[in-house]
Copies of this chain bind each other. A is one copy, B any other.
Amino acid sequence: MAEPSSSKPAVPLLKDELDIVIPTIRNLDFLEMWRPFFEPYHLIIVQDGDPNRTIKVPDGFDYELYNRNDINRILGPKASCISFKDSACRCFGYMVSKKKYIYTIDDDCFVAKDPSGKDINALEQHIKNLLCPSTPFFFNTLYDPYRAGADFVRGYPFSLREGAPTAVSHGLWLNIPDYDAPTQLVKPLERNTRYVDAVLTIPKGTLFPMCGMNLAFDRQLIGPAMYFGLMGDGQPIGRYDDMWAGWCVKVICDHLGLGVKTGLPYIWHSKASNPFVNLKKEYKGIFWQEEIIPFFQSATIPKECTSVQKCYIELSKQVKEKLGAVDPYFTKLADAMVTWIEAWDELNSTTSEEASSKSANGAAAATK
């Protein structure tokens, strides 16, 4: 089974069907390095923190930028579901996008090189991952069977070889690995230098730690579940935004028969965040996750839930009922999950035909 050519295509893949979402508190100089790969695409920048600060975007990029004032204006009281002073605010960009696909990347992530020394076009690899099926129902020992030079091995059921639609592509990081604060503290010098040339499907029924640093997904298939929760300012926890989204997304993908891939592409993660600051943000999560993960491992969604929205509302009820006892935070989070879906539906209620005109009249504060 052939994969798209790995050389740079004449017209960038999905040029008009994908938005790049970037949460930031600083000038976006990091985009210079990504210019050859990102310039053809539209960017949605979500400004984290002080809305009075001006974020500079290098010339030539097509973007819209939202700060906290914009979010409050667009969502009104429902803006309460969007985190403040935390990169979890990025999920506002998923909601306001009108495209089929999203790629999100942190502003401390740079272009990595493959073992041959060639710059890795991370976005192109994510698109390949999203456009070819996943294999969540049975493990293929030669990894992604749809890649050039690979296939399903002996003993793989033929009825499963069509695969499942891919909803999520989770990319990895060279240099600074995505460790928690305790591991950062214990291994301050550890760097990820191992380039593993594989993409694989995370099997049905298995949870994984989804990192938001280098992540792509199909908004139409799974968008409403990509809520990054309540983190940062006024909340008792941080650095669990992407984890929360990942647990919810995986349970819903499993229920709906959708696939989640992980592996390639790598980005170059330049700088470790401060482990002391991280520990303060994480410490409640470190013990809460011991209860949250068994909760998600045993969560089941009724058959009647046939849309992502219905699944997500159902999950929010179970969160309130079962995790509310762990900490009042989860009751608040469960309510925010409902608010998120209401806000999502409000901004995405139009048919796809209408969507582009609505987008043109849209609410961006600064569109270049």
Contacts and interface: CB of A to CB of B under 8 A. Distances in A.
Interface of A: 115, 138-143, 147, 149-159, 170, 172, 177-180, 182-183, 187, 190-198, 200, 202-211, 239-240, 242-243, 246, 262, 286, 289-290, 293
9 contacts: A140-B209, A151-B183, A151-B190, A153-B180, A154-B178, A155-B289, A197-B197, A203-B206, A206-B206
Contact of A141 (B152, B155, B172, B194): B172
A196 B143 contact: yes
A180 B209 contact: no
A202 B139 contact: yes
A138 B206 contact: yes
Given A142-B192, A289-B157, A179 B208 contact: no
A281 to B, nearest CB: 11
Contacts of A187: 151
Contact of A211 (B154, B172, B195, B290): B154
B192 A195 contact: no
B293 A150 contact: no
A183 B200 CA distance: 20
B158 A290 contact: yes
A149 B203 contact: no
B141 A262 contact: yes
Chain A interface main SS type: loop
Contacts of A206: 138-139, 203-206
A338 B190 CA distance: 50
Contacts of A152: 179, 183
Contacts of A193: 149
B196 A179 contact: no
Given A150-B194, A183-B151, A190-B149, A141 B170 contact: yes
Contacts of A240: 155
Nearest to A199: B196
Contacts of A154: 178-180, 183, 209, 211, 239, 243
Contact of A159 (B190, B192, B290): B290
A178 B154 CA distance: 6
A194 B194 contact: no
B197 A194 contact: yes
A132 to B, nearest CB: 16
A138 B293 CA distance: 9
A280 to B, nearest CB: 15
Most B CB atoms within 10 A — which of A141, A180, A242? A141
A208 B141 contact: yes
B207 A139 contact: yes
A203 B250 CA distance: 14
Most B CB atoms within 10 A — which of A207, A209, A289? A209
A158 B293 CA distance: 11
A302 B191 CA distance: 44
Given A149-B190, A203-B203, A180 B155 contact: yes
The 10 closest A-B pairs by CB, nearest first: A155-B209, A139-B208, A203-B206, A155-B243, A154-B180, A196-B198, A205-B205, A154-B178, A153-B178, A139-B206
